[in-house]
Amino acid sequence: MKKQLLLLSMISLFTLASCGEKVNSIDDGNGNQVIVKIGDTNYTANDLFKEYSNTSSGASQYFSAIYDVVINAVQPETMSIRKEVSQEINKFYQDAESSAKENNTSTKAEISKALESKGVESVEELEELYLLQQKKTAYENKFYDDNLNDSLLSEYINYYAPYHVRHILVKTSSGSSLYEGTISKDDATNLADVVSDLARGNQSFGTIAQAHAANGDTESANTYGDVGIMSTLTSFVSEFKYSLYQYDAYYNDSAKTNVTAYNERQATRKVGNTLVDGTSLVPYATGSSEETLLKDSVNYIDYKVFTDLKKYASYTTDNLKNGYKEEKYLPRNIIFNQHLNNHALGVVTKGTTGPNSNRFQYVKNLSKSTSEEDKILCDETGRPILVTRAGTGSGDSGYQGIHFIIAQKSPFVQTGTEDLLQELKAYYDTENYDKATSTTYVKFINSSTTKELTDRADKVKSNIKEIDSYMNYRIYEKALEELRTDGKEVKFNESVDIANIITKYIDANRTSSNYTTQKSYKDSWKAYINLLKVQNQVENRKVAESMIPTVIEPNI
């Protein structure tokens, strides 16, 4: 028997039972209870669930079937739902007629073929199937409408630390070597020009991102460097994510929440639970060698590095002495490897040659001292610009480059008088952003069309939905709760023990998902820290900057 027919039969039976009408029990003669009779054929509970047990997904099929039955029972059939179903049926007939003309067959034959492909035997059954699909869509939409901007948003903020981030990416042709990266003349010039523009202080970070779009991430550059929302679930390169996390965990004096490392013994806890405590942003034990490495790994880059890059940008191997005519000895490559070929958290310091602008500021905990030379390059609002080297391959398969990053909105920094959670909920609001008196994520970009605003709101919604890869379990549990409230207790045939199967199935998947999420997050941290360790180990393989006068021809 087709599974769709079994499902529709279950729905029919359940609907009768939930309405309080008596459903006569039928025995098949062998002591098995018949739950539905179709034509002259009896179907018992065992028959029904064997159909699902014999599939590769087993309990998953059980859940899917019961989910549909429960949602069908809890969601009323509205006029708008019925209208959608009618339109789908009309389209079904139109498609059958079109196929008949194209295939030189009869409409009846095409209808029969289409019904077979959908797992039903009549248009009436198809209509019931369409009705179920529309009711599911309506109920699921209502679930998100009721929860997305409230409880789910709170969970997203508390458990997964969303950042609104922006960057300027300068792509390079350096390759992925940790100590012998080689950049082009244009790479060196672009890096120097970006930092020069940022340091002068007469343009905003976003304007500079737009101006340098051709050299890096053109998509984000078109929106003032806006990369969007980054949480612990986001698949950004580790250097990008963990530079921000390191800064907030160890250096950001404005961070409201303590985000220090958590003890390894707590590693079995869900990532989200530890984030609620503000303790798992950096998942390593206090006092560990890993934490020491992270605290000591800030790469301070003197402004002079960038002026020197521009000074030596056009040098070729023809300008090098005999014995040094290799790319690694080009001054721009020596400078790049010494100061920018670094995957740790980095910042640009004023040094002795940086311009006297308000873009260089003292950043408590991050600046080495209060001296003018140790001031750090910031954006127009005083946010430190974090610098890191990252990549995902080379050529068309990825990129290599230098990121200049700011946290437009950190989940650990309170900027107003409102409770931090409420402040963040208002910032990521997807319903009332048009009434907001302060900047929100959706309205951060001055959009000229409603579509641009709704697209940004939809992006927030999509991110929130990702907090649980099994969100349909929550919807199912909510539907069961509503049915019980309405006095419609859901009872399963005890001989099959479906209730227990579904409960164990949901619990097992949730446990596995939580473990996988935590392990993935922790493993990515380990990989990043190992990268920093290897980077430190090969530091002595880099050509020393003091070699530049030795390798170049005099009087160049």
Q: Judge contact between 530 and 293, C-beta under 8 A.
A: no
| 159 and 297, same domain (yes or no) | yes
- Residue owning tokens 């797992």: 119
State residue 12's pLDDT score.
Answer: 53
Q: Is the residue at 417 inside a domain?
A: yes
Range of the structural domain that residue 224 is part of: 152-259+293-465
- Residue owning tokens 């990121």: 403
* Separation of alpha carbons 504 and 59, rounded Å: 9
Q: Is the residue at 78 inside a domain?
A: no
Q: How many CA atoms lie within 13 A of 228 on its CB side?
A: 17
Domain C-terminal end among 421, 447, 465: 465
| 318 and 429, same domain (yes or no) | yes
* Separation of alpha carbons 301 and 368, rounded Å: 12
State residue 274's pLDDT score.
Answer: 42
Domain C-terminal end among 465, 491, 524: 465
CA dihedral 54, 120, 142, 67 (to 10 degrees): -20
Q: Is the residue at 92 inside a domain?
A: no
CA-based end-to-end distance of the chain: 86
Q: Is the residue at 431 inside a domain?
A: yes
In degrees and rounded to multiples of 5, residue 37 shows phi and psi of -120, 125
* Separation of alpha carbons 314 and 556, rounded Å: 11
| 390 and 250, same domain (yes or no) | yes
* Separation of alpha carbons 71 and 132, rounded Å: 8
- Residue owning tokens 């051709």: 214
For residue 400, list its beta bridge partners.
Answer: 391
Separation in Å, CA 158 to CA 16, 394, 411, 465: 43, 36, 9, 14
* Separation of alpha carbons 314 and 472, rounded Å: 59
- Residue owning tokens 């001292």: 369
Q: Judge contact between 139 and 74, C-beta under 8 A.
A: yes
Q: Is the residue at 530 inside a domain?
A: no
| 342 and 212, same domain (yes or no) | yes
| 244 and 375, same domain (yes or no) | yes
| 50 and 160, same domain (yes or no) | no
Domain C-terminal end among 11, 38, 61: 61
| Interacting residues of 157 by C-beta distance below 8 A, sequence separation 6+ | 411, 421, 424, 425, 428
State residue 262's pLDDT score.
Answer: 38
The full DSSP string for 161-186 is --EEEEEEEEE----S-SS-----HH
| 21 and 158, same domain (yes or no) | no
Q: Is the residue at 472 inside a domain?
A: no
State residue 242's pLDDT score.
Answer: 92
Counts of helices then strands in the chain (DSSP H, E): 20, 11
| 459 and 325, same domain (yes or no) | yes
| 306 and 412, same domain (yes or no) | yes
* Separation of alpha carbons 484 and 491, rounded Å: 11
Q: Which of 131, 154, 146, 6 is nearest to 76 (CA)?
A: 131
User: How many domains are there within the chain?
Assistant: 2
State residue 375's pLDDT score.
Answer: 98
State residue 395's pLDDT score.
Answer: 56
State residue 285's pLDDT score.
Answer: 55
Q: Judge contact between 331 and 312, C-beta under 8 A.
A: yes
Q: Is the residue at 514 inside a domain?
A: no
Q: What is the pTM of this model?
A: 0.85
For residue 103, the 8-state DSSP code is: H
State residue 50's pLDDT score.
Answer: 60
Give 403-434 as a 3 state SS string.
Answer: EEEEEEECCCECCCCCCHHHHHHHHCCCCCHH
| 234 and 371, same domain (yes or no) | yes
Biggest distance spanned by C-alpha atoms of the chain: 106
| 180 and 44, same domain (yes or no) | no
Under-50 pLDDT residues of the chain = 1, 15-25, 36, 38-39, 55-56, 258-279
| 318 and 440, same domain (yes or no) | yes
The full DSSP string for 288-343 is -HHHHHHHT--EEEETHHHHHHHHHTT--GGGBPTT--SGGGSHHHHHIIIIIS--
Q: Is the residue at 539 inside a domain?
A: no
Count of C-beta atoms within a 10 Å radius of residue 130:
20
